[in-house]
Amino acid sequence: MKKFSLTHPHHDMFATERKWLCDTMYISWIFSMATTIVWFRNCLRLHDNLSLLEASKSENVVCLFMFTPSVYNSNYMGINRFQFLLESLQDLQTQLRKKYNGDLILVKTNSSYRKAFETLLKSNASIKKIVYEYDSTPYAKKRDESIKNFVHKEFPDVKFLSFQGHTLTDLDKVVNQKGFKNPSNTKMMIKLMLNEYGKSSKSSGINIPAPLNAPLKLKFNSNLVHEIEKMDDSITVLKKVPELHELNDVFGDEFKDIDVEAIKKHSYFKGGETEALRRLREKVLDNADFVCNFEKPKTSCVPSSESMFREPSTTGLSPYLAAGCLSVRMFWDAVDKSYQTKKHVKVDNLTVSLYGQLLFREMFYILNEAIGEKFSQNTKSNPAITKYIDWNEQDPVLLQAWKDGKTGYPFIDALMRQMKATGWMHHLGRHAVSCFLTRGQMFQNWTYGRDVFDRLLIDSDYSLNTGNWLWLAGIAPYSMPYFRVYSPCPEETKKSALNFNKGGNEFIRYWVPELANFPTKYLTKPWECPVSAQKMYGVIIGKDYPKPIVERKNTNLEKFRVNLMENRLKTPHTSPPSKKQKL
DNA sequence: GGATCCGTTGTAGCT
DNA sequence: AAGCTACAACGGATC
């Protein structure tokens, strides 16, 4: 039996009016009281920011960034990425002030995010909603889930909402598509994207939703900052975005040994949305020739001339995508627009085009979402996902030499030193050094290299980093013939896939100054230079620059092949794969 | 259902 | 000089 209720519409002639009254009162109460916190982590931008748009519905907004020990732990975040983060925060704060007469509140705490939220929520009853961008790294997933559960339990009136804006697709939705299979190449990605968004007449052929504009208006709650200042000592408000050299005072010993001048001297990219949009215009919107002719494998890991040392042959937009200074939908849209200015230009190889690059990015995110933590684990327990290889026992001497750029292979060392100094390395350079560490010369576990990249690169992006390392180690759940090994001395190959000939020698001379005056003939293999000549050039190999720390000749291919055969999940084919026989 | 083709970016040696 | 071949694993798509 249903309960009979006076308020049931059929029995209550004033129900509509009453509901209207209640709604009005509720809305006016919300408008006068409720505060929404926009919790910035990634997504350091105003455009295409779903959390900010959600907050714009609220009368009182607080934009918040929290420095916790997990942010300023230099074990996880290299100094260049930290500098990039600070610049991005500075830009965000400036923009919020200019555009909305608002602010970005920066707080510092020595406790966890969860504890910080507890302090905030306990002391201010007007906080009704916390919004943030979804972060799919395993660490962030666990952290956000735990805070969410805590808030639900302890503060049931407060909504804790995430929005997906870091990727082209809603990752949850995609991996739950009917008939979803882990994508492993461009074709599967296009199919998946068409399934999600449908066709379009634009050059990409996929109807990716356009990026959203920044909210027109935001009303800020300026009281909260004063309240935070009165709270307990565990949480403090920073008066301004700190400079790198001030971090030692603010955070303790983490940054005591940094060389600020060196970082500023080498940095290629200034952080922030403003710079991201400027670069997008310069490299994509105003550069249709470059966009329409872009072929990733033809770009070079070395600069084309000395004057170009600071400018990559690609777009250089990856650091901005990683920190969310640039929305990936904004990037896609700009590529579309650029193609449109060239009528009748067809994308003849989508895979190597800029579209392709963004699809690979998406693919790695989707794989991470679908596979979970095992995506990045080097374990025998899940060989269906990554092929298992018994890498050589960890060799600290080899690993340290690789990390410090002291392997005795000038090309490899130049690339590693560039990454350490600038926080950036071209994609093909990353291929060269990761191949060298794993199946190429050192046969060391790829996870070591992955972690070094994660810390040092300013564009480090968990899913992309992991996906690319799996690829280069030759164990990815997608195509990568293991016998395609890059030469660490690429000048000797007639047609290097690394495009070394586009300035490789100058690149080595710049980053390995020990060899600045060494003869070009021996520049990538200095150990072959006769000792008498070494004396003449004033560089003794083994003293002024190391001898090669591992064999140049690749002896690992056979080991790799045997590993694959022994450790593969599925039973071998009953008959060997057919081969064309010579007559 | 079986054969065949394909996969963002290799290198060395030969003609 | 450009183009071929050997090296040769394997899952998924296509016919």
CA A488 from chain center: how many Å? 26
Q: Which H or E run contains A160? A: strand A159-163
**CB-count exposure of residue A520 (10 Å: 0-12, 13-18, 19+):** exposed
Distance in angstroms (rounded) separating the CA atoms of residues A391 and A475? 12
> Which tens digit of pLDDT belongs to each residue from A399-444?
999 999 999 999 999 999 999 999 999 999 999 999 999 999 999 9
**CB-count exposure of residue A306 (10 Å: 0-12, 13-18, 19+):** exposed
- When pLDDT is averaged across residues A348-374 and rounded to a whole number, the result is 93
Residue A15: predicted pLDDT: 52
The strand ranges marked E within A339-417 are none
Identify, with chain letter, the residue nearest to nucleotide B4 (CA–C1'): A578
Nearest nucleotide from residue A467 CA, by C1' atom: B8
Residue A23: predicted pLDDT: 55
**CB-count exposure of residue A448 (10 Å: 0-12, 13-18, 19+):** buried
As a rounded value in angstroms, the CA-to-C1' distance for A96 and B10 is 49
Contact A188, A196 (CB under 8 A): no
Range among A301-305, A352-356, A555-559 rated most confident: A352-356
> Which tens digit of pLDDT belongs to each residue from A144-186?
999 999 999 999 999 999 999 999 999 999 999 888 989 989 9
Contact A438, A473 (CB under 8 A): yes
User: What single letter denotes the amino acid at residue A206?
Assistant: I
Number of Cβ within a 10 Å radius of residue A194: 14
CA A346 from chain center: how many Å? 29
Q: Give the confidence band of A512 by pLDDT, cuts at 50, 70, 90.
A: very high
Q: Is the pLDDT of residue A192 over 70?
A: yes
**A79-88, A223-232, A329-338 — which is least confidently predicted?**
A223-232
Distance in angstroms (rounded) separating the CA atoms of residues A16 and A410? 79
Dihedral sign, CA of A191, A195, A199, A200? negative
As a rounded value in angstroms, the CA-to-C1' distance for A442 and C2 is 34
**What positions of strand B are covered by protein, i.e. any atom < 7 Å from a CB?**
4, 7-13
Q: Which residues contact A265 (CB under 8 A, 6 or more apart)?
A: none
As a rounded value in angstroms, the CA-to-C1' distance for A450 and C3 is 37
Identify, with chain letter, the residue nearest to nucleotide B6 (CA–C1'): A479
Q: Is the CB of A517 under 7 A from strand B?
A: no
As a rounded value in angstroms, the CA-to-C1' distance for A194 and B6 is 21
Residue bearing the bigger pLDDT, A153 or A501 = A153
Q: Is the CB of A495 under 7 A from strand B?
A: yes
As a rounded value in angstroms, the CA-to-C1' distance for A69 and B6 is 48
DSSP-assigned letters across all residues of A428-460: HHHHHHHHIIIIITT---HHHHHHHHHHH-TT-
Identify, with chain letter, the residue nearest to nucleotide C7 (CA–C1'): A483
Identify, with chain letter, the residue nearest to nucleotide C10 (CA–C1'): A479
Nearest nucleotide from residue A495 CA, by C1' atom: B11
DSSP conformational letter for A495:
T
Q: Is the CB of A224 under 7 A from strand B?
A: no
Contact A78, A456 (CB under 8 A): yes
Task: Count the alpha carbons within 13 Å of A465 in the hemisphere toward its beta carbon.
Answer: 23
As a rounded value in angstroms, the CA-to-C1' distance for A574 and B9 is 33
Distance in angstroms (rounded) separating the CA atoms of residues A221 and A454? 36
* Per-residue exposure over A19-42, b if at least 16 CB sit within 10 Å of its own CB, e if not: eeeeeeeeeeeeeeebbbbbbbbb
Q: Give the confidence band of A582 by pLDDT, cuts at 50, 70, 90.
A: very low
Residues with CB under 7 A from strand C: A 181-182, 184, 187-188, 479, 481-483, 561, 564-565, 568-570, 572-573, 576-577, 579-580, 582
Indicate the SS3 state at residue A410.
helix
Nearest nucleotide from residue A572 CA, by C1' atom: C10
Q: Is the CB of A360 under 7 A from strand B?
A: yes
As a rounded value in angstroms, the CA-to-C1' distance for A494 and C3 is 14
Identify, with chain letter, the residue nearest to nucleotide B9 (CA–C1'): A297
Going by their DSSP bridges, the two strands A159-163 and A104-109 should be labelled as unpaired
Q: Which residues contact A40 (CB under 8 A, 6 or more apart)?
A: A63, A64, A65, A89, A92, A104, A132
**What positions of strand C are covered by protein, i.e. any atom < 7 Å from a CB?**
6-14
As a rounded value in angstroms, the CA-to-C1' distance for A470 and B13 is 30
As a rounded value in angstroms, the CA-to-C1' distance for A493 and B12 is 8
Residue bearing the bigger pLDDT, A270 or A570 = A270
Question: What six digits make up the tokens of A416?
Answer: 């590693």
Residue A7: predicted pLDDT: 39
User: What single letter denotes the amino acid at residue A386?
Assistant: T
Indicate the SS3 state at residue A286.
coil
Which residues is A170 bridged to in the sheet? none
Contact A50, A212 (CB under 8 A): yes
- When pLDDT is averaged across residues A33-60 and rounded to a whole number, the result is 95
Integer Rg of chain A from CA: 27
Distance in angstroms (rounded) separating the CA atoms of residues A160 and A137? 18
Q: Is the CB of A473 under 7 A from strand B?
A: no
Q: Is the pLDDT of residue A329 over 90?
A: yes
Q: Is the CB of A498 under 7 A from strand B?
A: yes
As a rounded value in angstroms, the CA-to-C1' distance for A456 and C15 is 48
Indicate the SS3 state at residue A408.
coil
Task: Count the alpha carbons within 13 Å of A103 in the hemisphere toward its beta carbon.
Answer: 14
Q: Is the pLDDT of residue A19 over 60?
A: no
Nearest nucleotide from residue A179 CA, by C1' atom: C12
Nearest nucleotide from residue A479 CA, by C1' atom: B7
A181 φ/ψ angles, rounded to the nearest 5 degrees: -130, 145
As a rounded value in angstroms, the CA-to-C1' distance for A185 and C11 is 11
Q: Give the confidence band of A304 by pLDDT, cuts at 50, 70, 90.
A: low
Contact A161, A131 (CB under 8 A): yes
Indicate the SS3 state at residue A65.
strand
Q: Is the CB of A566 under 7 A from strand B?
A: no
Residue A577: predicted pLDDT: 35
Q: Is the CB of A471 under 7 A from strand B?
A: yes
Distance in angstroms (rounded) separating the CA atoms of residues A55 and A37? 7
Residue whose token pair is 């309240």: A227
As a rounded value in angstroms, the CA-to-C1' distance for A183 and B6 is 15
Range among A110-124, A240-254, A370-384 rated most confident: A110-124
Angle A427-435/A446-456 helices, nearest 10 degrees? Answer: 150
Residue bearing the bigger pLDDT, A579 or A281 = A281
Indicate the SS3 state at residue A140.
helix
